[in-house]
Amino acid sequence: MPVHVVADTVRKLSDLCTALEQQYAVTCELLGSASNGYRDSDAVIVTADLRVVDNIAALKEMFGKLAHVRKRIFLIDQKERLSTVQALALGATCILVNPVAQARLLAQLADGNRPEVNSNGALRSSREAASAGAVSIASMFSAALAGKPVDINGTIGAGSRIADCITEDGLGSWLDTVRRHHEGTYQHCLLVTGVAVDFGLSLGLTKPDLERLYSAAMFHDIGKARIPLAILDKPGQLDAQERALIETHPAAGHEVLMGNAGVSPEILDAVRHHHEYLDGSGYPDALCAASIADIVRILTISDIFSALIEHRSYRETMPREQAYEIIQNMQGKLEKPLVIAFREVALGRKGSAVGSR
C-alpha cells in the first residue's frame, strides 16, 4: 500500500519515514512544498503543529484534492480540543497523539486496508456520517469551552445525517466505523446518537420525537467540554474529587445550551437529566420516576450501553451481550419495559447488527 507522509519539520519527516518504510512504499514531503506524491497514495499521514496558521492553510490546499484517499491519519502534538477540531475539519479519518507507538500507527494503516465499501455502500455511508458528526461535536465542544455560541443547527443537521445512516444501513456498520476511527468523548457521543436512533426506530417513535431524541444525544455530553481531558480519558478509576467533577457535566451542559432558541425544553431536560435513575440515585437532581421524561429514559439506556461497548485503548471492548446483561441487572434504576424492548437493539435487531462516564 502506497503511503504518503507530510510533516512540518525535517526531523518529524525523517522519523516517520524510517518507522514506515520497511513495510510500506513511502513517499514524503515537507508541508508547503510542491510535491504531488499523495495523488497515488492509499493513505496520507500528517504530522504538523495545527496551531500554526500557515500549516493549516497549506493543509487545506492539499486536502481539497484528497477525497480519493481512504486513510487520512493526523498525528497531533498535543491532545487539545482545538487541534482535534482542526484535524477533523481538514478531513482526518483518524487522529493520534504524539508520541505515537509504532505498533499503533502500523495497526491503523493495516486497518485501513479493510474494504471501506460493502455491497450496499453502508461502510462508506457510515464513515461519511461519522466524519460529519465528529466535526460537529468537536466544534461544539470547542465553542462551549471558549464561551462562544454553539452551532445548534449544524449539530442537529449532523444528527440528522446519522439518523439517515442508521435508518438506511442499520446499526452494525455505524458501531464498527465509529469505534474504528474515533476516540474518547467524541466516539461516545457518536455511539450514543447511533444507538438512540436505532432504539427510537425500534420503538416506532414519530419523526418529531426521533428528531428530539437524536438532537438530545448529540448534545447530551456538551458539559464535558469543561472537564479536563486528563480526567475524561483517565484509564484508571476516578477518585472522589474527579468523580464529583465529572458529575457536574449534565448541569454544565444545560447551562451552555439554556436560552438558545434552537434547543427545545425537551432536549434541555434530556441534557440535564440523562444520568438520573428511577430510584432517585442519579445526578444532578436526584429525580425519581415520575419526574423523568420518556426521552430521558430512552437516552439513559442508550448512553449506558454505548459507554460499555465503546473502544478504549486501555481495555477490551465489552461484548454487546455482556453490556446488555449489565443493563438488565440495573433493577429499579431503568424502566423495565424499555430495557426489555432494548434487547433487540443491543443484541442485533433485524436490519442491524450491534458489533460512562
CATH of the domain at 153: 1.10.3210.10
Final residue belonging to a domain, choices 111, 140, 155 = 111
CA distances from 246 to 77, 226, 257, 262, 274 (A): 26, 9, 18, 26, 13
Check whether residue 29 and residue 90 sit in a common domain.
Answer: yes
Check whether residue 184 and residue 234 sit in a common domain.
Answer: yes
Residue 111 has a pLDDT of 66
Check whether residue 152 and residue 104 sit in a common domain.
Answer: no
**How far is Cα 58 from Cα 29, in angstroms, rounded to an integer?**
12
**How far is Cα 106 from Cα 31, in angstroms, rounded to an integer?**
22
Whether the CB-CB separation of 357 and 232 falls below 8 Å is answered with yes
Q: Which three cell numbers stand for residue 24?
A: 510500506
Check whether residue 188 and residue 320 sit in a common domain.
Answer: yes
CATH number reported for the structural domain that contains residue 11 in this entry: 3.40.50.2300
Residue 35 has a pLDDT of 65
Q: Could you give the dihedral angle defined by the CA atoms of residues 63, 64, 68 and 73, in that order, rounded to the nearest 10 degrees? A: 20
Range of the structural domain that residue 23 is part of: 2-111
Residue 323 lies in a domain: yes
Residue 204 lies in a domain: yes
Check whether residue 126 and residue 91 sit in a common domain.
Answer: no
Q: What is the pLDDT of residues 128-186, one digit of tens each?
A: 888 889 889 988 988 898 888 999 999 999 999 999 999 988 898 899 888 876 777 88
Check whether residue 41 and residue 171 sit in a common domain.
Answer: no
Check whether residue 27 and residue 168 sit in a common domain.
Answer: no
> Which residue, chain included where needed, has cell 465489552?
318
Residue 352 lies in a domain: no
Q: Could you give the dihedral angle defined by the CA atoms of residues 279, 282, 288 and 294, in that order, rounded to the nearest 10 degrees? A: -110
Count of domains observed in the chain = 2
**How far is Cα 221 from Cα 168, in angstroms, rounded to an integer?**
26
Residue 279 has a pLDDT of 97
What amino acid occupies position 177?
T
Alpha helices in 47-183 (DSSP H): 53-63, 81-90, 102-111, 122-146, 152-169, 171-181
Residue 212 predicted with pLDDT over 90: yes
Check whether residue 147 and residue 239 sit in a common domain.
Answer: yes
Final residue belonging to a domain, choices 88, 111, 134 = 111
Residue 297 lies in a domain: yes
Final residue belonging to a domain, choices 111, 146, 165 = 111
Residue 203 has a pLDDT of 95
Q: Which three cell numbers stand for residue 214?
A: 437524536
**How far is Cα 143 from Cα 154, in angstroms, rounded to an integer?**
13
In this prediction, residues 11-28 reach a mean pLDDT of: 90
Residue 164 has a pLDDT of 92
Check whether residue 163 and residue 279 sit in a common domain.
Answer: yes
Q: What is the pLDDT of residues 51-83, one digit of tens each?
A: 888 888 888 888 777 667 878 889 987 666 677
- Rounded to a whole number of angstroms, the CA Rg of the chain reads 21
Residue 116 lies in a domain: no
Enter the DSSP assignment of 172: H
Check whether residue 240 and residue 273 sit in a common domain.
Answer: yes
Residue 355 lies in a domain: no
Check whether residue 256 and residue 178 sit in a common domain.
Answer: yes
**How far is Cα 254 from Cα 219, in angstroms, rounded to an integer?**
9
Residue 353 lies in a domain: no
Residue 175 lies in a domain: yes
Q: What is the pLDDT of residues 299-346, one digit of tens each?
A: 999 999 999 999 876 677 899 999 999 999 999 999 999 999 999 999
Q: Which three cell numbers stand for residue 45?
A: 499521514
Directed axis angle between helix 294-309 and helix 207-219, to 10°?
Answer: 50
Check whether residue 107 and residue 149 sit in a common domain.
Answer: no
Residue 346 has a pLDDT of 95
Whether the CB-CB separation of 266 and 243 falls below 8 Å is answered with no
